[in-house]
Structure 1
Amino acid sequence: MTGSEASPSFRLAYVPGVTPAKWVRIWKERLPDVPLTLLQVPAAEAPAVLRDRAADAGLVRLPVDRTFFSAIPLYTETTVVVVPKDHVVTAVEEVSTADLADEVVFHPLDDVLGWEQPPGLPAFERPATTEDAIELVAAGVGLLVVPQSLARLYHRRDLTYRTVVDAPESGVALSWPEDATTDLVEDFIGIVRGRTVNSTRGRTPAQAAAQPKQGRGRPDAAGARRQPAAGKTGKTGKTPGRSTRSGSGGTQGSRRGKPRRRS
């Protein structure tokens, strides 16, 4: 592992639609002395932010350049079409891209689905952002296909969405420069993978060193392994200081039985 063990803080970039709150809460519980700074960045800019070391790691959308970045896929999102609440699409729970063939479907410049061929009819002009496209959908001039988290992020009361069963999906991953796998990055990996605080991975070196080594036998309060007490059976099952034979073959000083009556 490379990197400094004494980094004063951890900087986490994340893209729109990703909610890091749960992982941030766990970080604060486990590493209260290491501030975590959140940086929200557009999806297209996240790789450059990580390359420039403006963040230590990022919650980004796949794919990433695996020749430069390490990445742990976290989940894949459902793709939905955002429509006005009175649109005919709302009559069903799911649609296909073929169902959108006669609709104007916006394809914003910050699209994250990586279409080979976007569905529907192209708009006269591509909106600059997904947020701009949402405003156009609300104006009733077209529809928008996005990951479900973006539909929720830009939710409006006059809009709703339905699942698109055959559209591309967007995966979210934890990513960082491969040559910058610091101890704090390992700590955050442990958190997103659900490792417990007692795991030797995903924790700071000081915590790992404090974990007692497991050995045979139960350690006492001083850390020494307990030995069998005198008079108790040992590993062989024999009582120390006693012969396994009875009667005259016993050890010196053992109690004799009653003498046999002569006839």
Structure 2
Amino acid sequence: MTGSDESPTFRLAYVPGATPAKWVRIWNERLPEIPLALVAVPAAEASGVLRAGDADAGLVRLPVDRAYFSAIPLYTETTVVVVPKDHLITAVDEVTLDDLADEVLLNPLDDVFAWDRPPGEAAFERPATTEDAVELVAAGIGLLIVPQSLARLHHRRDLVHRPVVDAPRSDVALAWPEEATTDMVEDFIGIVRGRTVNSSRGRKAAAPEPAGKSGAKSGAKAGDRRTSTGAKTAGRNPGGKSGVSKGAKRRKPRRRA
């Protein structure tokens, strides 16, 4: 955080399909004095935004440069193929890449998969965005393989999607520049890791007691133990046999019958 008089703001970048809503709600409940600003960025530009300091952390798609960024993997998405509602694929629950080998598959310029070789038959040209590709699927030009969150983000009533069981998958992570691990970044890390507000690893955790107070308490407890021990042994003779207090009554000896 800077030393300016302005109120600090935590800036969280997020790529299409990422869903920060739950974590934003928890942040607002725990840290209402620090606004959280969401920064929507294309997946390919997320690293650049973080490097430039235009966001403090981001929900990004892996991989990222681990020499520069720290990253906490959050979840792995199911990969699906988006098809028209009347396509034959809708008759099955899931498909393989081999099932799509004879299909025209659209490969948008913002595709999040690093294909060695895109499956299926290549379209005449690459759409500029995933959103454009979805429109082409609806027009019957081809099919589209995407993470499930993107299929839901660009949902249309005339399209459906099915899981592709052997396709690459996309991992979503929280990432930030390692050298810029601020208190606010630590706070957000605690939230995504599910730590409670009083967690010992969180910035908001209670500070340890000063050594003087702790020592005083320890001394008092030690004194209590000594007093207690002394009370237990007060009625014993040096030889170890129990003594009899002065006011105790002695029993009369029984008479023999």
Bin of the TM-score, shorter chain as denominator length: 0.7 to 0.9
The structural deviation recorded for 1:94 is 0.9
1:212-246 alpha-carbon deviations (Å, 9 max, x no partner):
69xxxxx9xxx957859x9xx94x5963643389x
Q: How does 1:205-224 map to 2 (within 5 A)?
A: 207-210=204-207
User: Which residue of structure 2 aligns with residue 258 of structure 1?
Assistant: 251
Q: 1:123 to 1:261 in 2, by over 3 A?
A: closer
Q: How does 1:26-65 map to 2 (within 5 A)?
A: 26-65=26-65
Q: Is the 8 A contact 1:71 1:175 kept in 2?
A: yes
Distance 1:56 1:244 in 2: 73
User: Which residue of structure 2 aligns with residue 85 of structure 1?
Assistant: 85
| Identity, % of aligned positions | 66
Q: Is the 8 A contact 1:4 1:183 kept in 2?
A: no
The structural deviation recorded for 1:113 is 1.1
The structural deviation recorded for 1:183 is 1.1
User: Which residue of structure 2 aligns with residue 239 of structure 1?
Assistant: 232
With the length of structure 2 as denominator, give the TM-score of the two structures: 0.86
Q: 1:92 to 1:257 in 2, by over 3 A?
A: same
Distance 1:249 1:106 in 2: 95
Q: 1:5 to 1:100 in 2, by over 3 A?
A: farther
User: Which residue of structure 2 aligns with residue 95 of structure 1?
Assistant: 95
Q: How does 1:125-164 map to 2 (within 5 A)?
A: 125-164=125-164
Distance 1:24 1:129 in 2: 27
Q: How does 1:179-190 map to 2 (within 5 A)?
A: 179-190=179-190
Q: 1:244 to 1:151 in 2, by over 3 A?
A: farther
Query: Aligned partner of 2:197: which letter?
Result: V
Distance 1:211 1:195 in 2: 19
User: Which residue of structure 2 aligns with residue 112 of structure 1?
Assistant: 112
Distance 2:193 2:2 in 1: 22
User: Which residue of structure 1 aligns with residue 168 of structure 2?
Assistant: 168
Query: Aligned partner of 1:183: which letter?
Result: D
Q: Is the 8 A contact 2:44 2:110 kept in 1?
A: yes
User: Which residue of structure 2 aligns with residue 17 of structure 1?
Assistant: 17
Distance 1:74 1:104 in 2: 32
User: Which residue of structure 2 aligns with residue 73 of structure 1?
Assistant: 73
Distance 1:109 1:158 in 2: 24
Q: 1:32 to 1:5 in 2, by over 3 A?
A: farther
Q: 1:212 to 1:153 in 2, by over 3 A?
A: farther
Distance 1:79 1:170 in 2: 8
Q: 1:237 to 1:165 in 2, by over 3 A?
A: farther
Distance 1:142 1:5 in 2: 54
Q: Is the 8 A contact 2:235 2:245 kept in 1?
A: no
With the length of structure 1 as denominator, give the TM-score of the two structures: 0.84
Q: Is the 8 A contact 2:198 2:206 kept in 1?
A: no
1:94 aligned counterpart, secondary structure: coil
Identify unmatched segments of 5+ residues in structure 1.
214-218
The structural deviation recorded for 1:166 is 1.1
Distance 1:186 1:91 in 2: 47
